[in-house]
Chains A and B, each alone.
Chain A
């Protein structure tokens, strides 16, 4: 191998300065707006209904149904700042739903664009760069997370559980960050696997345990020692805690900083891995 192999080891980076390549990436990502807008136009009706129904059903069944059953002085004491089980579970579910939306949107659609529809392949045959393709799709997922979270926040507000606009906006922003922190690593995962059966692993060992054991439904202090520690390392626990603080209006700045740092670190790591995986798969 006398000659260099540009791009073959995908981690070697591009010859241009990082700043200019990011700007170029954003400019090229903008050219994909029409594509994602068209995709959204074809799917939004179904997603709007479900993004409204899901929080409504959860809050009615668990918040009110289960809540009435378990709301006792002893139980409410364990819920910290939350005055009721409904108030406790609502922000938890907001964060958990953001995670769920993020993971689903970053799983099959990403693999499909490599494997079935090959949308990414036709994109990189044009002047679009690999990074810009990733930026545009992630931006679309951010939009999906933010829009479903906005509906969720509105439903929580309907239940009278958010008392200020800044709290609502803050909860929406943090829920979107929670989603994005899960989306970028899943983008990397979906860009690496060859077969969709690998998603079963992600859903069963990642999504479901996190959904159940990250403090959305009960305070994780209730869990036996090791499980409690499992909760603390899951990104969703940090997301649930941060979202809850905002909705309940009782923010502990130190904890908030820790939660957000954890989520942002995961987001950045996921982005780096996703970019590497996309480069490997699209320019081999």
Chain B
């Protein structure tokens, strides 16, 4: 059944070299190299405006490449866009569900765009509604769904053509924690079924949860690449001690503690002390007679990696 037979692919499913996207004078993507392999969950991590969505739109074969090379499933999207798009599932950043249509119709109508027969669309729609736990909402209006349900429906819709690659642009932005976890669970299952996932996110926890491998994008270029654990090991210390002093005192306090750890970052509301042993660092701070209003010791995260690489935090 799967049209994947039509597209025999050796090597990476997605291969980009020197990929550039320009809108007028603005260069959104400034020459990136990316390889995504079959079965992998690959992430673009970066703040808003880093070029993640532009890269994603090129990979989705809707936005023409300005310069560089891009092959998806071994094909050039500029020449064989429809063929490539037939094998992709696209879950856009904003839900593009049709409010005029019911939950189920959103799936069946969309399936027709791929040339799938009506009967097949109906059976796949029912199966997908079960998968995203929306069976009891099949006849409902899209408008009556919660944000998390809409997102799940969008994911179900993007799976109607049984894609080889699922593209997810900011899949959980705007969702509450419960809805996010439910969604992550669905994505995990897909990954286990062998679907290749490519996602963009500005949430480090999402990237850590879902991605086998990721690139950190900043201002249109890749500043780091690897698995979440590798990136943390490479660019940060094992632990971080977060120290809060009174507002406005952080610069001054930073000078007093900077020799305790490997590095200190000053944020508006706290100091981040990078160290291999957070507890020992805390003890040393106290031994020096400093009295922070609160102390938190935690493991390093991708947030710290990003801060280290760009000097800025991910979520402004």
Listed in ascending order, the chain A residues whose CB lies under 8 Å from chain B are 1-3, 5-8, 15, 31-35, 38-39, 42, 117-119, 121-129, 282-284
Contacts and interface: CB of A to CB of B under 8 A. Distances in A.
Given A5-B64, A125-B90, A284-B63, 5 more contacts: A6-B78, A6-B79, A8-B66, A125-B92, A126-B114
Given A125-B90, A284-B63, A34 B109 contact: yes
A127 B109 contact: no
Given A7-B78, A127-B86, A117 B99 contact: yes
Contacts of B92: 118, 121-122, 125
Contacts of A5: 64-67
12 contacts: A2-B67, A3-B65, A5-B65, A6-B65, A7-B78, A34-B112, A122-B98, A122-B110, A125-B85, A126-B85, A283-B64, A284-B63
Contacts of B194: none
Nearest to B118: A34
Contacts of A2: 67
Contacts of B5: none
A280 to B, nearest CB: 11
B31 to A, nearest CB: 12
A127 B114 contact: yes
Given A15-B79, A34-B112, A126-B113, A1 B66 contact: yes
Nearest to A4: B78
Interface stretch (B100-108, B127-135, B214-222): B100-108
A52 B204 CA distance: 59
A31 B62 CA distance: 19
Contacts of B23: 284
A121 B169 CA distance: 14
B167 to A, nearest CB: 9
A108 to B, nearest CB: 13
B113 A123 contact: yes
A130 to B, nearest CB: 9
A283 B62 CA distance: 6
Contacts of B161: 126
Given A7-B78, A35-B109, A121 B118 contact: no
B83 interface: yes
Contacts of A119: 96, 98
Top 6 A-B pairs ranked by shortest CB distance?
A: A6-B78, A127-B82, A126-B113, A122-B96, A118-B96, A7-B64
A126 B114 CA distance: 7
Contacts of B68: 3
Q: Which of A33, A39, A119, A122 has the most CB of B within 10 A?
A: A122
Contacts of A125: 60, 62, 85, 88, 90, 92
Given A2-B67, A125-B85, A127-B85, A31 B115 contact: yes
Contact of B86 (A32, A33, A126, A282): A126
B85 to A, nearest CB: 5
Given A6-B64, A284-B23, A126 B98 contact: no
A38 B60 CA distance: 27
Contacts of A33: 112
Nearest to A24: B82
A282 B57 CA distance: 11
Contact of A31 (B65, B78, B90, B112): B112
Interface in B45-76: 60, 62-68
